[in-house]
Structure 1
Amino acid sequence: MSSQAIPLLASEKTGKDWMDSVLPILWEGLCTELGFSSGVVVLKAEEEDSFYESASFGYGEDGFYYSFLNRGSEHWEELMHSPEPVFFSGTEFELFGKKTNAFAIRISSKKSEIGFLLAEMEEASHLPFAIFLSLFADKIGNEWGKSKPSFGIQETIREGNSHSLYRKEIPNLDLARREFANQKVLTILGQAGSGKKTLAKWIHQSHLPGAPFLVVESLPEHFGKLEKALSNWGTELKQGSLVLVGIQALNLGQQQILSDWWSKSGYSGSLFLLGSEEMGQELLPEFERFLRKNSLVLPTLRFLPKTKLQTLVQAIFEELCDSQNRSGLQLGDRSLQELVSRGYAENFTDLRNTILTGILTCRTNQVEPADLEPGKSKMDLEIPDAEDLDLRRGTEALERQKILLAMRIFSGNQIRMAKALGISRGSLQYKMKQLGLM
């Protein structure tokens, strides 16, 4: 066993600390000692329905992607449901080595499949290797499970985040939550991007953890179809929550059907009604009483005190930095004042997008006002003029634009970014380093 791997096998680190600092080095040492030509550990990302490479060995700078193990494919499903190692012949499957065979072992945590490890070797596979790596897969699953906080701990961790800070500014929130527990209905009104769905989901999880949560963005205009849809949703949800968005646009017939369904159908779940303060349609008296039965009006960002908004902006900035793996980035004082002084037509949506732009385009350790306006003051974000014959600069500018777009779409998940961009993860990391994006 390599000198690096021996002490790591007995490391006292656990959970996320072990996953981040021990696993990558330990995997490399194990692959070297066991004579593997290459190998990878792929795990499910926290708080996200996606997978990433947690550790790799032997692929070089360009990396490698096992296309036959695409999520949802036949071989993926076989691996995820096999209690034994699954073997892949180099004559049948596209492997990294030219004369290698591979075997893969699923990784589980608390009866859920969270990824796999795969190793290639030039000689025929040996059973002792498979047994040892099966035990190692169990170790990874145990540590991964420790890194996932329980519901109670998660709520404590999130108590200082932006959503928690904003909830403290919502008038009558505690009263509305108590009424919701009794009446099982809550109307949430507010302007676009003010966090109506986010608040509804938080209240649902607080009162009904684990229960279904269904969001419906528009209702059928045909009365018969609407009645049938409400009946079907109620049957599917049972004790869960139904969230209806855009109630300000319901016509009189839809209002009547919805009121009747709630009072007469026997639906045993909960109901959230989301919409704008300004009702675009005439309201039936009984529907208006239904809306006002238990309701909240969310404040817009422009009505928050400046000191509160500054704290909120800083919290959102820190959360987005963490999600983009730029935890050391700072928000300059001038940038903070710029963000606080702006108007946001779609409130949190616009504010978060503006802050994310600054994080993705910043090439130093501090976001400045110029970073909040990509393309206006940072010329390397734009395609050069036709008269500019610098091919290298033009290529870098285009690559930077595409990578920034992929970062925004896939929240910085490099495996998904690389696949969408049509390059290996290693090539993506190399380009990002060249362009100052990591």
Structure 2
Amino acid sequence: MPSQAISLLASDKTGKDWMDSVLPVLWEKLCTELGLSSGVVVLKIEGEDSFYESASFGYGEDGFYYSFLNRDSLHWEELMRSQEPVFFSGSEFELFGKKTNAFAIRIRAGQKEIGFLLAEIEVSNSLPVGIFLSLLADKVGNEWGRTQGIPVSKEVTSSENSYSLYRKEIPNLDLAISEFTKQKILTILGPSGSGKKTLAKWIHQTNLPGAPILVIESLPDHFGKLEKALDLWGTESRHGSLVLAGIQSLNLGQQQILLDWWSKSGYSGSLFLLGPEGMGQEMLPEFERFLQKNSLVLPSLRFLPKAKLQTLVQAIFEELCDSQNRSGLHLGAMSLQELISRSYSENFTDLRNAILTGILTCRTNQVEPVDLEPGKFKMDLEIPDAEDLDLRRGTEALERQKILLAMRIFSGNQIRMAKALGISRGSLQYKMKQLGLM
């Protein structure tokens, strides 16, 4: 029974104070009393998207890095999804000990994975160890959460995503969905990049969860091939949904074939027809009425109220930061105004590309207007002119270039960055502070 470790678990200290002063000692005591050979606690840095070793045991001054747990690797993803300890055999994975096996436990704060703890042990039966380390993982997650203002042992309700915000601006959406459940057909018109397919998929998943959905981007020009294709698609999507994009390209003969198929084939699924608001081509009167049976027109981003667009931009920014492992990044006020004032011919497509440019090129913790200029970051990484004799400036430029490259390759994981750059993590952090990178 690890008595000293239990007393540390019951410490009156909380939050950052507990993380800084109790956890390193607690980890060492727990590893010693449980008979572990070595072990490490890896946690997310507060306010950033980098990870660091919060506590370690048994590795000596040189430390040890578990390469098979690189961020975004298969084993990392497995660990972050697993509710149970994940076992790593010493015969299959590169561990610190020569005769040890290891198991790792993810650490969560609220609903966010913020790190893991890993222990190496020689004995095969690790159940008691797993129990104590699971308790520790919960404790670490709670105390880390306190430093971020995350309620202890409560789920964090996520904010609305960007497309749910946009859906609120679509006129008559509720009525169209109600009619869709009755008629099984919906025409969605709108400008390029406005999310017509996304909306069709959302309506399908909302009304027909688990049912198949088939999205067709182009239709055969030959009438006979179109008839056969519709029969085949109808069979594949029966009891589900068929989505036909680009209906503006249908000629009169194709329009008639589609009308006949819908009325005579016995298709039991639902149908979505997608196209631009201004169809621009000649249409059969009955086909035009067919499209108007139940239809929606999606608004262009330029028609959204400024306050709504601002909220939408911020939501997209947060989603893309999360997808690029840069959750500590902020959108500057001037950058926000710049994004709002721009015109986006491809709507969501152009807007997301603009925001992603800023995220990928930003070198600080805040995206500024200069970061939104495509290709600008490439100039920032160039070495000064060869005729510039300022050695200090040249050295700093080269160090900055190498550190930024390591940041991209290793997604900001400072342990891996330091190892690749051939310096200690402390030296790396010192240089990053000097160069304005953290």
TM-score w.r.t. length of structure 2: 0.65
* Corresponding letter in the other structure for 1:326: S
Question: What is the distance in 1 between the residues matched to 2:232 and 2:56?
Answer: 51
Q: Is the 8 A contact 1:255 1:287 kept in 2?
A: yes
What is the deviation of 1:217? 2.8
Matched ranges for 1:114-263 at <5 A: 119-121=119-121, 124-127=122-125, 129-130=126-127, 132-133=129-130, 157-158=159-160, 161-221=161-221, 223=223, 226-263=226-263
Q: Does 1:95 align with 2:94?
A: yes
Identical pairs, percent: 55
What is the deviation of 1:244? 2.5
What is the deviation of 1:97? 2.1
Alpha-carbon displacement from aligned partner over 1:105-150 (angstroms, at most 9, x marks no partner): 899xxxxxx9x986433xx4232x1464279679989x9xx9888x
Alpha-carbon displacement from aligned partner over 1:164-222 (angstroms, at most 9, x marks no partner): 33223222222212111211221212222212222223322332334334433333445
What is the deviation of 1:340? 1.8
* Corresponding letter in the other structure for 2:361: T
Question: What is the distance in 2 between the residues matched to 1:37 and 1:101?
Answer: 9
Relative distance call for 1:200 and 1:126 in structure 2 (3 A) is same
For the residue of structure 2 that corresponds to 1:66, the secondary structure is: helix
Q: Does 1:274 align with 2:301?
A: no
For the residue of structure 1 that corresponds to 2:166, the secondary structure is: helix
Which of the two has higher C-alpha Rg? 2
What is the deviation of 1:66? 2.7
Gaps of 5+ in 1: 43-51, 108-113
Alignment correspondent of 2:354: 354
Alignment counterpart, residue 66 of structure 1, candidates 61, 65, 68: 68
What is the deviation of 1:6? 5.8
What is the deviation of 1:388? 7.0
How many residues align? The count is 384
What is the deviation of 1:357? 2.8
Matched ranges for 1:38-53 at <5 A: 38=39
Q: Does 1:292 align with 2:292?
A: yes
Alignment correspondent of 2:146: none
Relative distance call for 1:358 and 1:199 in structure 2 (3 A) is same
Question: What is the distance in 2 between the residues matched to 1:364 and 1:71?
Answer: 26
Alignment correspondent of 2:310: 310
Alignment correspondent of 1:45: none
Alignment correspondent of 1:397: 401
* Corresponding letter in the other structure for 2:100: N
Question: What is the distance in 2 between the residues matched to 1:187 and 1:317?
Answer: 30
Alignment correspondent of 1:46: none
Q: Does 1:326 align with 2:327?
A: yes
Question: What is the distance in 1 between the residues matched to 2:230 and 2:154?
Answer: 40
Question: What is the distance in 1 between the residues matched to 2:247 and 2:162?
Answer: 27
Alignment correspondent of 1:48: none
Alpha-carbon displacement from aligned partner over 1:51-98 (angstroms, at most 9, x marks no partner): x99999668777322399x9889xx99xx99x9986734xx4341225
What is the deviation of 1:292? 2.1
For the residue of structure 1 that corresponds to 2:67, the secondary structure is: coil
Q: Is the 8 A contact 1:191 1:346 kept in 2?
A: yes
Alignment correspondent of 1:37: 38
